[in-house]
Amino acid sequence: MLHEADPAEAIEQLYAQGVTDGLPVVPPTRARVRVFVEASGRPADELIARLPPNFGRATIEKIAINAVLAGCRPEYMPVVIAGVEAICEEAFDLHGVAATTHFASPLAIINGPIRKELEINSGANVFGQGWRANATIGRALRLIMVNLGGARPGVISMSTLGHPGRYTYCIGENEEESPWEPLHVERGFAPGESTIAVFAGEAPHGVYDHRSRGAPQILASIAGSLAVISNYRSTGWGDTLIVLSPEHARTIAGDGWDKPRIRQWLWERLQKPVRELVPDAECGEGLPEKVLARYADPAREETLIPKFRAPENLIVVVAGGTAGRFSAVIPGWTFPGGSQLVIRKIQR
Q: What's the chain's average pLDDT?
A: 96
Q: In the predicted model, what is the mean pLDDT of residues 170-187?
A: 98
302 with 311: CB under 8 angstroms? no
**Residue 1 reports pLDDT greater than 60:** no
Q: How confident is the model at residue 338 (pLDDT cuts 50, 70, 90)?
A: confident
Residue 3 confidence (pLDDT): 58
- 131-146 pLDDT, tens digit per residue, is 999 999 999 999 999 9
Q: Is the pLDDT of residue 336 over 90?
A: no
- Could you tell me the strand order of the sheet in which 105-111 lies? 170-172, 105-111, 195-201, 342-345
Say which amino acid occupies 288: P
Using the predicted structure, report yes or no on whether residue 2 has a pLDDT greater than 90: no
Nearest to 320 by CA among 240, 249, 260, 226: 249
Give pLDDT tens digits for 93-130. Answer: 999 999 999 999 999 999 999 999 999 999 999 999 99
pLDDT at 337: 65
Q: Under DSSP, is residue 109 helix (H, G, I), strand (E, B) or coil? A: strand
244, pLDDT greater than 70 = yes
pLDDT of 288 reads 93
pLDDT of residue 6: 86
Task: Answer whether 90's CB lies under 8 Å from 141's CB.
Answer: no
Non-local (6+) Cβ contacts of 224 within 8 A are none
pLDDT tens digit sequence for 144-175: 999 999 999 999 999 999 999 999 999 999 99
Q: Look at residues 299, 22, 345, 270 and name the one whose alpha carbon lies nearest to residue 167.
A: 22
pLDDT higher for 348 or 341? 341
Instruction: Give pairs for 19-27: CB < 8 Å, separation 24+.
Output: 19/69, 19/143, 19/146, 19/147, 20/69, 20/143, 21/139, 21/142, 21/143, 21/146, 21/166, 21/167, 23/167, 25/69, 25/70, 25/71, 25/143, 26/68, 26/69, 26/70, 26/71, 27/2, 27/68
Q: What is the pLDDT of residues 273-299, one digit of tens each?
A: 999 999 999 999 999 999 999 999 999
Mean pLDDT for 235-252 is: 96
b/e per residue 285-303 (b: at least 16 CB within 10 A): ebbeeeebeebeebeebee
Angle between helices 215-227 and 259-269 (to 10 degrees): 50
Per-residue model confidence (pLDDT) at position 204: 97
pLDDT of res. 7:
85
Q: Which residues contact 321 (CB under 8 A, 6 or more apart)?
A: 123, 124, 125, 126, 245, 246
Per-residue model confidence as pLDDT tens digits over 41-95: 999 999 999 999 999 999 999 999 999 999 999 999 999 999 999 999 999 999 9
